[in-house]
Amino acid sequence: MKFFRFNILLAVVTAGLLGMTALAQSNGKAAAQATPFIDGETLTYEGKISKIIRGIAVADLTFTLAKDPNGEDYLVKAEARSKGSLLKLFRFSFLQEVQSSIDSEDFRATRTVKHDVQKERVRNSEAIFDYRERRVTYVETDPNEPMRPPRRIASEIHDASQDLISALYSLRLIPLSVGKTFRMSVSDSGLVYDIPVYVTGREQQKTIFGKLWCFKIEPQVFGPNRLIEREGDLTIWITDDERRLPVRSVVNSPYGRIEIKLKTAKNLRP
């Protein structure tokens, strides 16, 4: 079910959605001067899966961005929660709560805290990004078995690395144009992935705001030695305007087609 969890989060990066950092992007300090998001922005998505039955709603995903009350950095809280139809159809339920701390000056992840519930399985984890040592350290514990040794993973990172949540917001900062390609460095569960990203089109999409022009983005997250080591493809649509909102994402895989759409948006940039 790791595949399913990731795509719901990302999408709701979309990763997600949909999201991630470009090694070729411009200096984060410059990007931070005119961000497409503001303190208090809240985005809620609905995820649907289609295989035998078309468009079954299986999850709600919410992202809330705020400034750290103790500084200038960003805190993004994300929640992915399964709906009753997922339990009825697949006998599976989940809740994933993630808090991502982001350095607002260089726009890179500094800390990721996660609470992950899959039916009876519960895991808590923390990832610390140490840019002096160029290392991310991930520690995972089982609150139901406090005497069990923690799972630890450490990996080398780049100067600008993201987790799955900060990646989405980083993607919104990158200037986009059809035909553009770049790479992203993204860490998940202590491992680091170098992800090629292609901007393959500019299309109109039906959104909660009406029809909007959007960039079509295809991160290469499926395949050997990639974030998801299975067949599939991921597409994200981000509005071509000042808000750069991820409004839709689609994952095609052997498990079916997963579509995530923006359902509500609050406290947007004027």
CA–CA separation, 189 and 128 (whole Å): 11
Q: What is the pLDDT of residue 89?
A: 61
Provide CB contacts within 8 A for 209, sequence distance 6+: none
pTM reported for the whole predicted model: 0.86
| Domain boundary assignment for the chain | 2-263
**Residue range 18-56, pLDDT digits in tens:** 333 333 343 444 344 579 999 999 999 998 888 756 677
Q: What is the dihedral of CA 241, 242, 247, 251, to 10 degrees?
A: 80
Q: Strands, DSSP E only, in the chain? A: 42-50, 56-67, 74-82, 94-103, 108-118, 121-130, 135-141, 151-156, 181-188, 191-207, 210-219, 233-239, 246-253, 256-266
**Residue range 138-189, pLDDT digits in tens:** 999 999 999 999 999 999 998 889 999 999 899 999 999 999 999 989 999 9
